[in-house]
Amino acid sequence: MCGIAGYTQCFRPLPPGVIDSGLRGLVHRGPDNQSAFSTRNVSIGATRLRVVDLDGGDQPLHSPDGDCTIVFNGEIYNHGALRKQLESLGHSFQTRCDTEVVLHAYLQWGNDCFHRLRGMFAAALWTESKRRLVLARDRMGIKPLYYRIHDGEIFFGSEMKCIFAHPDVPRRIDLKGLNYFLSLNYVPGPFTLIEGITKLMPGHLLEWQRGEVAIRRFVTQAHKGEAPRSLSDATEELDGLLQQAVAEQIPSDVRMGLWLSGGLDSSTIAHYATQASSSPLRTFSITFRGKSFDETQYLRTVSDYYGTEHTEIDLCEAGDLADVIREMCYYSDEPGADAGAVPVWYLARTTRPMATVVLSGEGADELFGGYLTYQADRSRRISARLPRPLLKAALFCARQIPASNEKIGFDYKLRRFLQGSLMSAEGAHLFWNGTFDDEEKRSFFRFADGGPMSELLKQIRPGGAVERYLSFDQRYSLPDALLYKVDRMSMAHAVEARPPFLDERVVEFAARLPERFKIAGRQTKVVLRQLMKDKLPPAVLKRPKVGLDIPIHEWFRGILQPLLLETLNEESLEETGLFDWPAVSSLIEQHRNRKANWGYHLWGLLTLMLWIQRWKVEMPGRSEALLVSPEEGVQAESSLSWQPVSYSAQTS
């Protein structure tokens, strides 16, 4: 696992120190080694977290003739099979690492190599003789990759701070991205919150050659194949796929752990990991003692059942929450509007001294229909038939119910469902997973624009009542919200998180399943529950989904209220020129007085403001860019102790 960065300089020389500064901004992703390689046309580099072949494999790696150079972030789980195939074709290897396999696969098959890779990755390959750069990102978007086209050159990196390291790159906020953020709580690819910086979409490659750019999808739309004839056939097939996926993702060279919630998804991974591992499994969990959503009972049941070496962190006793939230803004190149980032931060921080790699349960909900919103999508077909005046009257009555302190209480769910029932089916799905609707956004955001969301709604393809939304979420909210959160918070502590559910074979299997094997009545993830019914403790199978999150409604009325009021104040908001202070102040007061639960909405605004301040983002209408040195742009104001290790620079 690594962080990568690079800058072409075919037309304009790179200012001194940029590649060094960019890599220093990624040292948390790879504290074991940092190296760069430069020619007259390019400077590229990588920071490395050693997971496979601890003694070899430091990057950049070069082809035998020195013409092609690779920097790589991720893990390729079928690299052993690819290595044997390439050796049979005449290739020889100097290391055991998967990065060298990717390099030789590219030398053998060119851009057609990427669809052969099974794993998570962001790769950059430079060919000096052709002055050509190829960027590629894994099919599910587990690993991030950003780029900017700048005066014909291209800059890229695992995080935006690599691009910020270039002194000529402005940091102007992107209003289209901001409109998305305020509606969805994330920015869907390829957009970001900074003008001119773009995400490479999952399953895509970018080819830059002498200033010309071409982007295409390398994952073809495969034929779905025949669906399992029965639920029994489906569970049997899924059993074999999960055995393979989990076994392949268990590392042999470093210590491994598992993030355990006591829910179905992480408990399923615990089951298969225990089967595949030769030593007792280490598990790590977050608890909220005394809260209605505390999962201690369930996670301990699973830990005891599989005999794991178990560690718990109780967030109700965390005394540094406000400091952690501020610090997270450095590692989140875009604001993390998912409050679940906080427990993931604590999980990663606790995990690091005991494990380098963790398995996690991300992706199962998007594949098999695990979220409450998918049930709401089905229920809306009934509620939408009711007369609109009746729905509006019901919503008015629901808004009179006092706001509860529950993480997601009945009052909150009822209001959101009725509000969504007044929208289109597509709009409702996005609203239930997001925050502000268009009318709410216009009330406080001076640049509110319904155009971006209208464009995004068109991306929801025709299909079954649930399948069309699963496909959309896999394309957008999964990589840009969930996987983004896990990547940033885990890599902030140099912990590599691996999600076995997102193995391409499991993903393709899920795409073949009929809807009734995913959601049936009130039951979600039907096929997964059926598979695990004789494997997991019954209490785990019967419990409702909770989700790893913090009680933000309650904490903004209590322990985090000082941070909220300190950050969202009149002076700070008016200085941005983005927001109407009286409207935002009204949201805060309604929340404090329990007139409504705006906790998730305010969390998004809080993280946005902390991010703007931390990265000195330029606001619209300001002609002069803020002057920020490369060093200031990437150097962590952080209590973490990562420092560059054995830094080296190569030049040819």
pLDDT in tens, 355-414: 999 999 999 999 999 988 888 888 888 888 899 999 989 988 988 888 887 777 888 888
Nearest to 516 by CA among 451, 463, 584, 466: 466
At residue 649, does pLDDT exceed 60?
Answer: no
Measured CA to CA, the distance from residue 371 to residue 187 in angstroms comes to 20
Residues 203 and 238 in one domain: no
For residues 18 and 90, state if they share a domain: yes
Range scoring the smallest mean pLDDT among 184-198, 222-236, 449-463: 222-236
Rounded Cα distance between 529 and 540, Å, is 10
Are both 165 and 280 inside the same structural domain? no
Q: How many CB atoms lie within 10 A of CB 587?
A: 20
Q: Which amino acid is at 142?
A: I
One-letter amino acid at 279 equals S
Closest CA to 600 of 449, 395, 416, 331: 416
Please give the residue that has the higher pLDDT: either 335 or 608.
608
Report the SS3 class of residue 311. strand
pLDDT at 167 over 60: yes
Neighbours of 347 (CB within 10 A): 28
pLDDT of residue 294: 83
Question: Residue 116 is part of a domain; what is its CATH number?
Answer: 3.60.20.10
Q: Which two tokens stand for residue 494?
A: 């140099």
Confidence of residue 628 (pLDDT cuts 50, 70, 90): very low
**Whether residue 51 is found in the same domain as residue 126:** yes
Cβ(118)–Cβ(140) below 8 Å: no
Same domain, 298 and 271: yes
User: Where do the H-state alpha helices sit in 132-191?
Assistant: 160-164, 175-184
Does the pLDDT value for residue 625 go beyond 70? no
Tokens describing residue 419: 């509000």
Distances (CA, A) of 203 to 116, 137, 216, 276: 12, 6, 9, 29
Give the HSE-up count for residue 517: Cα atoms under 13 Å, Cβ half-sphere: 21
Angle between helix axes 321-331 and 341-351 (nearest 10 degrees) is 90
Q: Do residues 18 and 157 touch, judged by C-beta distance below 8 A?
A: no
- The residue written with tokens 């990547």 in the block is 487
Task: Identify whether residues 120 and 215 lie together within a single domain.
Answer: yes
Assess if residue 589 is contained within a domain. Answer: no
Flag the least confident range among 97-111, 247-261, 591-605.
247-261
pLDDT (0 to 100) of residue 222 = 55
Answer with the residue of higher pLDDT: 284 or 35: 284
- Distance between CA atoms of 74 and 145, rounded to whole angstroms? 11
Q: What is the mean pLDDT of residues 292-303?
A: 89
pLDDT averaged over every residue in the chain? 90
> Omega into 190 within 30° of 0, i.e. cis?
yes
113: in domain: yes
CB 199 within 8 A of CB 186: no
- Domain end marker among 502, 522, 542: 542
How many independent structural domains does the chain possess?
2
Q: Is 439 exposed, middle or buried (0-12, 13-18, 19+ CB in 10 A)?
A: exposed
| Domain CATH code at residue 279 | 3.40.50.620
Q: Give me the helices (H) in 352-407, please.
A: 364-368, 372-383, 388-398
Give the integer Cα–Cα distance in Å for 330 and 332. Answer: 6
C-alpha 528/C-alpha 510 separation (Å) is 10
Average pLDDT over residues 185-206: 96
Per-residue confidence (pLDDT) for residue 469, from 0 to 100: 94
Reported pTM: 0.92
Q: In the prediction, which pLDDT does 650 show? A: 47
Going across the sheet that includes 212-217, the strands are 61-62, 68-76, 119-127, 132-137, 204-209, 212-217
Question: Would the pLDDT of 629 be above 50?
Answer: no
Residues 250 and 145 in one domain: no
Domain boundary among 509, 524, 542: 542
Residue 395 CA from chain centroid, whole number: 33
SS3 6: strand
pLDDT band at 53 (very low <50, low <70, confident <90, very high): low
The rounded distance, in Å, linking the Cα atoms of 119 and 443 is 44
Amino acid at position 91, single letter: H
Residue 1: per-residue pLDDT: 61
Of 99-103, 278-282, 469-473, 507-511, minimum mean pLDDT range: 278-282
- pLDDT tops 70 at residue 494: yes
- Is residue 361 in a domain? yes
Q: Which residue has the higher pLDDT, 415 or 632?
A: 415
Rounded to a whole number, what is the distance in angstroms from the first to the last CA of the chain?
26
Q: Are residues 178 and 245 in the same domain?
A: no
What is the reported pLDDT for 631? 44
Please check whether residues 18 and 158 belong to one and the same domain: yes
329 shares its domain with 215? no
**Cα distance between residue 30 and residue 129, in whole Å:** 29
Is 49 inside a domain boundary? yes
Boundary residue ending a domain (542, 575, 599) = 542
Q: In this structure, are 206 and 334 located in the same domain?
A: no
Look at the alpha carbons of 441, 445, 450, 455 in this order and tell me if their dihedral is positive or negative.
Answer: negative
Contacts of residue 62, defined as CB under 8 A and 6 or more positions apart, other chains included, come to 37, 68, 69, 70
Is residue 51 packed enough to be buried (19+ CB in 10 Å), middle (13-18) or exposed (0-12)? buried
**Residues contacting 595, CB < 8 A, separation 6+:** 403, 589
Domain that holds residue 55: 2-221
CA 294 to chain centre: 24
| pLDDT-derived band at 251, boundaries 50, 70, 90 | confident
Q: Residue 206: helix, strand or coil by DSSP?
A: strand
**pLDDT of 643 higher than 90:** no
Q: Do 202 and 261 share a structural domain?
A: no
- Model confidence pLDDT, tens digit, residues 422-448: 999 999 999 999 999 999 999 999 999
625 occurs within a structural domain: no
Contact 435, 601 (CB under 8 A): yes
Residue 303 lies in a domain: yes
